[in-house]
Amino acid sequence: MISFNGLKAEGGDTIYAGVNLSEEFLLYMPNAFSPNGDGHNDYFSPVGAGITLDYFEMRIYNRRGKLVYLTTDINQPWDGDITGKRYDETSTEVFVYHITVRTYKGIERDYYGHVVRLP
């Protein structure tokens, strides 16, 4: 399916911008979470549709580039702890993520970004 959005330009011409919606794939990563145990945003994990469960990898790095968390289970979100050590509940820290997923069409996609761990 292709979706078109028409814009009317000066002089009467219409400009169309197409968006391919046929892949049926969507992935969202939050940019912050607060693992303080209040039941709201306590974990960091992508949420999406069209992702297979047979291939997933999420790596979390600290600001010095050290790997602090790795999972290949999409149902195992990061709780903010670093290799079993509970995080400092008084500090805000930024981490980098690298997430690799495979779509139902067999296409591997890599996502890079940062996430803020709030107290």
Rounded Cα distance between 3 and 49, Å, is 19
Sequence spans of domains, the chain: 25-117
- The pTM (predicted TM-score) of the whole model is 0.74
CATH of domain 25-117: 2.60.40.1220
Instruction: State CA 62 to chain mean position distance.
Output: 17
Encode pLDDT of 53-94 as tens digits.
888 999 999 989 999 999 999 889 999 988 766 666 777 899
- Angle, vertex CA 38, rays to CA 83 and CA 69, nearest 5: 20
Token pair of 55 as six digits: 């291939």
Confidence of residue 100 (pLDDT cuts 50, 70, 90): very high
3-state per-residue secondary structure call for 75-119: CCCECCCECCECCCCCCCEEEEEEEEEEECCCCEEEEEEEEEECC
